[in-house]
């Protein structure tokens, strides 16, 4: 059985939990509180030298990092992972876009503005860049979704799961989605998919360890 | 025939040029000078709303963005793209690592310190973060390469191509690789692979358009 090292309130971890739930794959969850330094212990760094969650133990002692790579692994062979060459490339295109153009701004904003008590003051210098880059990325997504129901392969795939994780909480960290009607309709479609589970996070209850 | 929109001095573009050369795939190159705003014209944004190079025209009017997604597309079916499920996931893990943990610091440092005249002064505020995060990522790579000849599937793959692009010019933008012997040995191995082509960039001859 898979063991998933994850943090409940992490969007990257939520992606994998959502995929495992939709696929009905049994797994054991181990909560790693990165704010208490639990991803920087020698024990955890021996499993993932990059010190990030989520981390999948795919087989005993065989670890896999990076949320979007884990999605390809757990969804391999299912309809969630398109294997046609151009469809796969399209899904990958959006998943690399997610890690390069969306997670570093909307993900960072969610972490500091919605999850961390006092995070807004600590990160005041970064706010303008998060907003500018985040809105730019939302604009790229809106343009695609104006003409497509999903991101790749004309169906719900792990590319949608990857992009949903932080986009569906963007309004919790200062992003106004009212000007993105196609994104809002897509968020509703994803949430209405059979087997959907929610992220279940709580706002501003965490404090960074001293 | 493929058309590749790229910039000669871009590491992300070099990845695709290197893969196409190794695979012996004929293609047409279109140079896009992002410093002159050529990736922000209405014509280019119609092809790629995210306004980035490289961009592959895989078939007439069918565009694919994101360097690492393009690598999976052009290398699909070759030994460069591992299809075994866990090997594929390992390759993807390192390619997402590259876009999230390496390109944003070593790639940014290379762009501003090595390519842009006066870039060092313009980006003085970012230098410390680039160095800290870049060295951290190099440490993760060094640890892996101390026990493996390549990044995934025990052979040269597109994961090596993705990580090689910016790592092999890291010494041109203030990173000292003398303390990373396994990385240096791997860089030599990659450069010695049959069919290797060099990046052919020139230092500090570019100026940002006003």
Q: What is the pLDDT of residues B159-178, one digit of tens each?
A: 999 999 999 999 999 999 99
Claim to verify: residue B164 and residue B109 sit in the same structural domain: yes
**pLDDT higher than threshold 80 for residue B207:** no
How far lies A73's CA from each of B52, B154, B161, in Å? 28, 18, 21
Residue given tokens 């757990």 in the structure block: A74
Q: What is the pLDDT of residues A80-126, one digit of tens each?
A: 999 999 999 999 999 999 999 999 999 999 999 999 889 999 999 99
- What confidence tier does B131 reach under pLDDT thresholds 50, 70, 90? very high
Residue A198 lies in a domain: no
The number of residues making up chain B comes to: 210
Cβ–Cβ below 8 Å for A89 and B100? no
CA distance linking residue A136 with residue A157, whole number of Å: 23
- Average pLDDT over all residues of chain A: 95
Which chain A residue has its CA at the smallest distance from B97's CA?
A66
Claim to verify: residue B101 and residue B11 sit in the same structural domain: no
Claim to verify: residue B102 and residue B177 sit in the same structural domain: yes
Q: Choose one of B75, B95, B116: the last residue of a domain.
A: B75
Cβ–Cβ below 8 Å for A89 and B72? yes
Claim to verify: residue B54 and residue B142 sit in the same structural domain: no
Residue B25 lies in a domain: yes
What are the beta bridge partners of residue A55? A5, A65
CA distance linking residue A64 with residue A95, whole number of Å: 17
CA distance linking residue B33 with residue B42, whole number of Å: 15
Chain B residues in contact with A69 by the CB 8 A cut-off are: 89-90, 92-93, 95-96
DSSP per-residue string spanning A98-132: IIIIIIIIIIHHIIIIIIBTTHHHHTGGGHHHHHH
Beta strands in A32-164 (DSSP E): 55-59, 62-65
Residue B209 lies in a domain: no
Look at residue B35 in the predicted model and tell me its pLDDT.
85
* Closest Cβ–Cβ partner in B65, B68, B93 for A65: B93
Claim to verify: residue A71 and residue A89 sit in the same structural domain: no
CA distance linking residue A118 with residue A12, whole number of Å: 22
All residues at 6 or more sequence positions from B89 whose CB lies less than 8 Å from its CB, including other chains: A58, A64, A69, A70, A72, A73, A76
Instruction: Enter the tokens of residue A45.
Output: 């760094």
CA distance linking residue A206 with residue A151, whole number of Å: 33
Chain A residues in contact with B72 by the CB 8 A cut-off are: 88-89, 92
Taking the CA atoms of residue A105, residue A111, residue A116 and residue A121 in that order, the dihedral angle to the nearest 10 degrees is: 0
Determine the distance in angstroms separating the CA of B140 from the nearest CA of chain A, rounded to an integer: 6
Claim to verify: residue B70 and residue B95 sit in the same structural domain: no
Claim to verify: residue B18 and residue B115 sit in the same structural domain: no
Going by C-alpha positions, the residue among B152, B170, B171 that lies closest to residue B161 is: B152
Claim to verify: residue B112 and residue B182 sit in the same structural domain: yes
Domain that holds residue A96: 85-191
- What confidence tier does A52 reach under pLDDT thresholds 50, 70, 90? very high
Q: What is the pLDDT of residues B14-31, one digit of tens each?
A: 999 999 999 999 999 999
Claim to verify: residue A109 and residue A27 sit in the same structural domain: no
**pLDDT higher than threshold 90 for residue A48:** yes
Q: What is the pLDDT of residues A135-179, one digit of tens each?
A: 999 999 999 999 999 999 999 999 999 999 999 999 999 999 999
Q: What is the ipTM of this complex?
A: 0.95
Q: Distance between alpha carbon B62 and the CA centroid of its chain, in Å?
A: 22
CA distance linking residue B178 with residue B120, whole number of Å: 23
Q: Choose one of B27, B46, B75: the last residue of a domain.
A: B75
CATH number at residue B20: 3.40.30.10
Residue B202 lies in a domain: no
Look at residue B210 in the predicted model and tell me its pLDDT.
41
Residue B133 lies in a domain: yes
Going by C-alpha positions, the residue among B173, B153, B48 that lies closest to residue B95 is: B153
Q: What is the mean pLDDT of the segment spanning A53-60? A: 97
Cβ–Cβ below 8 Å for A69 and B62? no
CA distance linking residue B82 with residue B156, whole number of Å: 10
Question: CB–CB of B183/B138 below 8 Å?
Answer: yes
Claim to verify: residue B108 and residue B185 sit in the same structural domain: yes
**pLDDT higher than threshold 80 for residue A12:** yes
Claim to verify: residue A45 and residue A121 sit in the same structural domain: no
Claim to verify: residue A104 and residue A183 sit in the same structural domain: yes
- What confidence tier does A210 reach under pLDDT thresholds 50, 70, 90? very low
Question: CB–CB of B151/B91 below 8 Å?
Answer: yes
Chain A residues in contact with B57 by the CB 8 A cut-off are: none
Residue given tokens 């796969």 in the structure block: A88
What pTM does this model have? 0.96
CATH number at residue A130: 1.20.1050.10
Q: What is the pLDDT of residues B39-87, one digit of tens each?
A: 999 999 999 999 999 999 999 999 999 999 999 999 999 999 999 999 9
**pLDDT higher than threshold 80 for residue A24:** yes
Cβ–Cβ below 8 Å for B69 and A85? no
Question: CB–CB of B11/B169 below 8 Å?
Answer: yes
pLDDT above 70: percentage of residues in chain B: 96
Q: Choose one of A26, A43, A75: the last residue of a domain.
A: A75
Which chain A residue has its CA at the smallest distance from B144's CA?
A49
Residue A207 lies in a domain: no
Determine the distance in angstroms separating the CA of B76 from the nearest CA of chain A, rounded to an integer: 7
Going by C-alpha positions, the residue among A37, A33, A40 that lies closest to residue A115 is: A33
Q: How many domains does chain A divide into?
A: 2
Look at residue B47 in the predicted model and tell me its pLDDT.
97
Find the chain B residues whose C-beta atoms sit closer than 8 A to any C-beta of A. 49-50, 58, 62, 64-70, 72-73, 76-77, 85-86, 88-90, 92-93, 95-97, 99-101, 103-104, 137, 139-140, 143-144
């Amino acid at each position: 059985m898979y063991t998933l090292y994850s943090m409940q309130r992490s969007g990257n971890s939520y992606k994998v939990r959502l995929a495992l739930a939709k696929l009905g794959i049994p797994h054991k969850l181990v909560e790693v509180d990165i704010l208490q330094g639990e991803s920087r212990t020698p024990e955890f760094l021996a499993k993932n030298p990059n010190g990030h969650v989520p981390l999948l133990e795919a087989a005993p002692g065989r670890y896999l990092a990076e949320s979007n790579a884990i999605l390809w692994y757990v969804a391999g062979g299912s309809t969630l992972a398109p294997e046609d060459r151009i469809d796969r490339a399209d899904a990958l295109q959006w998943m690399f876009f997610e890690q390069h153009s969306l997670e570093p701004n909307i993900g960072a904003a969610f972490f500091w503005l919605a999850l961390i008590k006092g995070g807004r003051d600590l990160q005041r210098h970064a706010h303008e860049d998060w907003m500018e880059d985040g809105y730019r990325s939302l604009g790229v997504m809106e343009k695609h979704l104006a003409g497509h129901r999903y991101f790749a392969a004309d169906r719900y795939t792990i590319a949608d799961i990857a992009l949903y994780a932080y986009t569906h909480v963007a309004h919790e960290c200062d992003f106004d989605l009212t000007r993105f009607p196609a994104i809002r309709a897509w968020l509703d479609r994803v949430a209405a998919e059979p087997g959907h589970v929610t992220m279940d996070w709580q706002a501003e209850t965490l404090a960074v360890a001293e």
